[in-house]
Amino acid sequence: MEIFRTHNRQMVTALLLLLVVILGGTLGYSQLEGYGLVDGFYMTIITITTVGFGEIHPLSTGGRIFTSILILFGFASLAFIGQTFAENFVSKLMSANSEKKKMLKEISLLNSHYIICGFGRVGEAVAEKLQTCGVRFVFIEANLDSCQKLKENNYLYIEGDAINDAALESAGIKKANGLLAILPSVPDNLFITLTARELNPVLHIIARANNAASEKRLLQGGVDSVISPYTSAGYQIASNLLAAAGSVDIAQHSIPVIEAVPQWFDVLEGSGMVGQTIGQLSKEMKHKVFGLRRLNRDYLEPDYSWEIEAQDKLLVLEDWGDKVNEQTVQKPKPQTVVIVDDNPVILKLYTRLLHRAGFVPHTAKNGSEAVKLILELKPDAAVLDFMLPVLSGIEICKKVRTERTCDNVKLILFTGDEEAETRERALKAGANAVVVKSPQASELIETVISLLQQNQKNSSPQGSNSRPLDGSGTEANLTPHGFAPVEELGSVTIVSNEQTNSST
């Protein structure tokens, strides 16, 4: 804006200078040569423009000297005007590109930010809330009118289609914490999810749905959670109406607005919560219990009359958990898992699945990297591909088992070889389990969870890594309709030192 003001001042100065030259030439010819004002003006114009027309009357010596000076001043003023107009035109032409480059540079510096796909009424509300909370975000928008509104609001944005890799990469998807796919079209949101998952397997994705059927499709496509603006608005209106009429306790029946990340907490033996009803606990803590896990089964919004038992797990907000006595509720530490495979697609897939199951995944691409990483991190578990560069999965097992500090690391060989000899070699080398590769990606995650739960039961009574899982061990997402499994489950073939499982 300051550049435009400077150029405008230069244009005014150039025009005033030209006007002074024309006025001075007109008056000079009138005084020196006795021309009238019209003839003087005419002589001034043909002189400073150097068009080469003849003189109206022969000039005196003084008139010729004046004409020479007038030509110099006239040419200088015209040159100054031309330069000013050219600079102003180029600056306006380039200003849009310069602003875009500046914004792209600012976006490239973002880290742990959020990407919002679509600037409609929902996107605008989300942006206002994030800005209020001081959270950095960037929009991806294809509509030119919406881009203009984003510019007016000083929001960072990428002009383009969010289903394209280039737009997502320009928005810094590989460094982002999360993505909101809130376009009105469910197919577009699903396609954005698939593309985003490929670019960043551990990205937290929230998508917009219009009905229950589309919610299921989005969850199957890899969305972490689904929102339905119309359903949420309807529930909120009904809750407010009933509360105003005194017909229902809004604290128990309103749809919760979650402003913190839900977390699972373990109820320990001897806790003061044991024996209390969920309703009593919610009123005492002034926060709602959203989920209950009991005997490997999950319940969304459990009945307020249910009594809390030892070894239960409660789904609450993280800020609520911080207020609870640590002796009453224990927040489990995330477990680490190393996954080793020379196929980058496999690494991305299982990194995402392990992350979503509540683990902290680390990756290696060959046997030597794997041994070094396992000895350094001493993870809770390691998933090893059988056929690897440098060292095979079985050789890795042998090297890791020679280190006493890694005795508690669960080793899982992941192989496409179904031969009994391979399984026996792996178990003899120190593997805790062998999983045969199959199209069902959830099998490996189930094995990791099962082995670590066994390990925790043997070492401590305080429960396992608590994450929203359904009864079969598959991670589930919290939705208005319940805990929906992320992956379809198929047959599982596991050979283990502790046990042999075959489940369907």
Average pLDDT score over residue span 262-268? 70
Contacts of 123 (CB under 8 A, 6+ apart): 116, 139, 180, 182
User: Taking all residues of the chain, what is their mean pLDDT, rounded to a whole number?
Assistant: 77
Residue 317, pLDDT > 70, answer no
- In CATH, which superfamily holds the domain spanning 110-231? NAD(P)-binding Rossmann-like Domain (3.40.50.720)
Average pLDDT score over residue span 188-208? 85
What would the pLDDT profile of 29-56 be if each residue is shown by its tens digit? 888 888 888 888 888 888 888 776 777 7
Q: What are the tokens at 66? A: 């004046």
For residue 413, name the pLDDT band (cuts at 50, 70, 90): very high
- Hey, where are the domains in the chain? 2-105, 110-231, 258-330, 336-503
What residues form DSSP beta bridges with 485?
A: 476
**Residue 289 contacts residue 315 (beta carbons within 8 Å):** yes
**Residue 279 contacts residue 305 (beta carbons within 8 Å):** yes
| Integer Cα distance of 327 and 284 in angstroms | 17
Residue 70, pLDDT > 80, answer yes
Return the CATH fold of 336-503: Rossmann fold (3.40.50)
Residue 308, pLDDT > 80, answer yes
For residue 374, name the pLDDT band (cuts at 50, 70, 90): very high
The CATH architecture assigned to 258-330 reads 2-Layer Sandwich (3.30)
Average pLDDT score over residue span 223-237? 77
Topology agreement, domain 110-231 and domain 258-330 = no
What residues form DSSP beta bridges with 502?
A: 493
For residue 99, name the pLDDT band (cuts at 50, 70, 90): confident
| Integer Cα distance of 170 and 140 in angstroms | 9
The CATH architecture assigned to 2-105 reads Orthogonal Bundle (1.10)
The region of weakest confidence among 154-163, 220-229, 421-430 is: 220-229
Looking at per-residue confidence, does 345 or 136 come out higher? 136
Ramachandran region, residue 186 (left: φ > 0; alpha: ψ -120 to 50; beta: rest): alpha
The closest of 325, 201, 206, 312 to 258, measured between CA atoms, is 206
- 7 sits in which H/E element: helix 2-33
Torsion of CA 348, 349, 354, 357, to 10 degrees: 130
Residue 255, pLDDT > 70, answer no
Q: In Å, how far are 9, 128, 312 from 285, measured between CA atoms?
A: 65, 29, 17
